[in-house]
Amino acid sequence: MLNELDNIRIAIEDLVHGQLSPVLLPHQIIAYTLWSLHHDLRQNSSLHTCTVLGHTTADYYCTHSFVAAQQGSKLTIGLNFPMSSVPTSLTLYQIQFSQFLSQAIKTSPMSLKSTTFLMESLSHAQLT
């Protein structure tokens, strides 16, 4: 009993610091909610192109995207389930721009202004 109370105390301290705990919100509840959202999105003709972006319960424990509030003697936790209208998965590319840039400079003469623009574009592409 004391161990369970200590686990709850630690989970509430973590909640105050922005970390959601499976002690307070069991993974089965998130898994059922995800299943229900996927099912409802497939059934609703106006939302059939939407998809939920988080696929596992672990995704939601790591996001820090929730709201917690006390309502009387109850703790209410509101969890965000981000959605997208893009029906397919996207490919992420990593660009090694230093190698690409040195090769580009060797193969074609560029002005300093063009080189700076290319570096800024590649840095932006690497950040997004």
> For position 29, what pLDDT does the model report?
92
Residues 11 and 65 in one domain: yes
Q: How many domains would you assign to the chain?
A: 2
What is the model's pTM?
A: 0.59
Q: Is 12:24 a contact under the CB 8 Å cutoff?
A: yes
**Tens of pLDDT, residue by residue, the chain (128 residues):** 778 899 999 999 999 898 999 999 999 999 998 888 888 887 876 656 677 777 788 888 887 788 899 889 998 998 888 887 765 566 766 666 565 555 555 555 544 445 555 555 554 444 44
Residues 15 and 65 in one domain: yes
Predicted local confidence at residue 65, as pLDDT:
81
Give the phi and the psi of residue 70 in degrees, each rounded to 5: -95, 130
Rounded to the nearest 10°, the torsion over CA 71, 72, 74, 79 is: 10
- Same-domain check for residues 77 and 32: yes
Characterize 24-35 residue by residue with b for buried, 16 or more Cβ atoms within 10 angstroms of its Cβ, and e for exposed: ebeeeebeebbe
Residues 69 and 114 in one domain: no
Domain that holds residue 43: 2-84
Q: Please tell me whether residues 14 and 57 are part of one structural domain.
A: yes
Q: How far apart are CA 47 and CA 89, in angstroms?
A: 17
Position 89 in a domain: no
DSSP H/E element including 68:
strand 66-71
Do 38 and 101 fall into the same domain? no
